[in-house]
Amino acid sequence: MSVTEMFSYIQGFLSADQDVREDIRKVVQMLEQTAREILTVLQSVHQPSGFKEIPGKCAKARELFCTVRTHIADLKTKFPVEQYYRFHEHWRFVLQRLAFLSAFVVYLESEALVTREEVAQILGIEVVRERGFHLDVEDYLAGVLIMASELSRLAVNSVTAGDYNRPLRISNFINELDSGFRLLNLKNDPLRKRYDGLKYDVKKIEEVVYDLSIRGLAKEPESGLDK
Amino acid sequence: MSKREGEGCPRKNADAPQDRDGSGNPSSPVIAVFKVFQQELDTKHDKYERLVKISRDVTIESKRTIFLLHRVTSVPDAEDILNEAETKLDAVRQKIGQIAEELRGEDIFQFHRAFTPGIQEYVEAVSFLHYIRHRSLISLEEINARLVFMRTEKGLAEAQPAGSQVLTFQVTPSDYLLGVADLTGELMRMCISSVGNGDIDTPFQLSQFLRQIHDGFSYIGNTGPYEVSKKLHTLRQSLGKVEDACYTLRVRGSEIPKHMLADVFSSRTALMDPEEGVV
């Protein structure tokens, strides 16, 4: 094979590769759009009026996740399934956002940590790599960490809205999450960087809880009963 | 691990007493889930580290092979050196076999970054050897064809029926391309040293070959991976040096009577000084 032939073969491969990336980028853009819409719906829980409508907002967000599922189904058709990690960078960011959004919805509904299986189900993808388009564990964890900072904000705003018990529940939840993350041996990667921010969220929520406790606004026995 | 948890506890206790149950309790669902994640992440990181290590070994051995091959120009019996290089590359291939073993059943691209430097270096070495032997560019298929490994030990026990014994490693086109870009630097060095040894044919062959590769890279342009554009710059410099060397040879060659040529080129200093003057 001559040098010229070899290079035109490689060139053919490269341009095919670029076409695939182009296709992926288009779908990912739509996914990002939908993710922003969901975020907008969920953001309104920070409004004082939004506190009463949390179930309604969640239902609306769940509806929008249907669109996400169709987009992801579309995305799956754009590249060979065994080359997931070759193009991973393209959807990593949006997948983390979506993991965060599903975790947030599940928390608002049931005040529990979403499992990786649940996220996968909400997004219409797999958990195990062998079975197709899946949710990487690091992306899931990143999504959970984004939720933690959203919850620290929610703790502040729930006090403003007059809900004094929620911060206590959030505090329990975040502390549990924090001790969960302590179990992980993270490398010096983006996930680790994000995890380093978790302590500030924990701190902020603890301050809110402290403020409530010294003013006697948090009713200890009641929150004890909740548990 | 327990020590780290211990550090966290007192701080939490101060604010929310009931926390102690939540964070310390190992049977809590969140903790249980994170233990699974811990295992999964550790397994992944360990595999990555192992691959990095193998890749380093591949790099070192390939570099040594390249140094060995550079001796070809100054030694009367080139065949010995080529055979020795072949043996060295066989050892490198065994190492790549280990990479293939690690990657069995995995997504190659998940760990690609761990071993890409080694593979590029291997491509460089193997294509250099191929060039010295055949004066042509090794193709991607030829490289991949030699990266087929037979494994008999553990493969039998596994569920996969046929494919378990034969392992292949596929060099990606990008790795191939980057390896070939590195090759041009070696060719440049080979050209200069062969001039020093009085070999006046090799530089012309090399400059022609380098020009072809350069044209190939210009054809690919910026559609390739990001690193290609960086290497293209170095490639231009190498090509420039080789072309200058050929130019000098031609100019000096026409001035000096044929019977004296050998004397002029047999000593390195004799050439290197006038070369400076011409440029």
How does pLDDT run across A8-22, given as a tens digit for each residue?
999 999 999 999 999
pTM: 0.82
Residues of B in contact with A177 (CB under 8 A): 30
Q: What is the pLDDT of residues A139-179, one digit of tens each?
A: 999 999 999 999 999 999 999 988 899 999 999 999 999 99
Q: Is A226 inside a domain boundary?
A: no
DSSP characters for B197-240? TT--SHHHHHHHHHHHHHHHHHHHGGGS-HHHHHHHHHHHHHHH
CB-CB under 8 Å, B139 with A88: no
Q: Which helix (H) or strand (E) holds A196?
A: helix A190-196
Residues of A in contact with B159 (CB under 8 A): none
Say what the pLDDT of residue A34 is: 96
Q: What angle do CA A203, A204, A207 make, to 5 degrees?
A: 90
Q: What is the pLDDT of residues B143-175, one digit of tens each?
A: 999 999 876 554 444 444 444 578 889 999 999
Interchain contact A15–B (C-beta under 8 A): yes
Owning domain of residue A176 = 137-217
Say what the pLDDT of residue A134 is: 92
Handedness of CA A113, A116, A121, A124 (dihedral sign): positive
Same domain assignment for residues A115 and A129: yes
Interchain contact A110–B (C-beta under 8 A): no
Interchain contact B226–A (C-beta under 8 A): no
Question: What is the number of H-type helices and E-type strands within chain A?
Answer: 9, 0
Paired tokens of B83:
């055979």
Say what the pLDDT of residue B7 is: 42
**Cα separation, A165 vs A170, whole angstroms:** 9
Same domain assignment for residues A66 and A4: yes
Interchain contact A6–B (C-beta under 8 A): yes
**Cα separation, A3 vs B216, whole angstroms:** 7
**Cα separation, B242 vs B229, whole angstroms:** 20
Among A66, A65, A67, A44, smallest CA distance to A55 is for: A44
Structural domain total, chain A: 2
Question: What ipTM, to 2 d.p.?
Answer: 0.86
Q: Is A95 inside a domain boundary?
A: yes
Q: Quick one: pLDDT band at residue B257, thresholds 50, 70, 90? A: low
Q: Write down all domains in chain B, each with its CATH number in brackets.
A: 38-151+166-171 (1.20.58.190), 172-255 (1.20.58.200)
| Amino acid at site A43 | Q
Q: What is the pLDDT of residues A180-202, one digit of tens each?
A: 999 999 988 899 999 999 999 99
* Proportion of chain A in helix, strand, coil states, percent, rounded to 5: 80, 0, 20
| Closest-approach residue (CA) in chain B for A16 | B223
Q: Is A102 inside a domain boundary?
A: yes
Q: Are A137 and B36 in contact (CB under 8 A)?
A: no
Q: How many CB atoms lie within 10 A of CB B137?
A: 22
Same domain assignment for residues A119 and A205: no
Last residue of a domain, one of A75, A105, A135: A135
How many alpha carbons fall within 13 Å on the CB side of residue A158? Answer: 25
Query: In this structure, what CATH number is given to the domain that contains residue A4?
Result: 1.20.58.190
Same domain assignment for residues A113 and A186: no
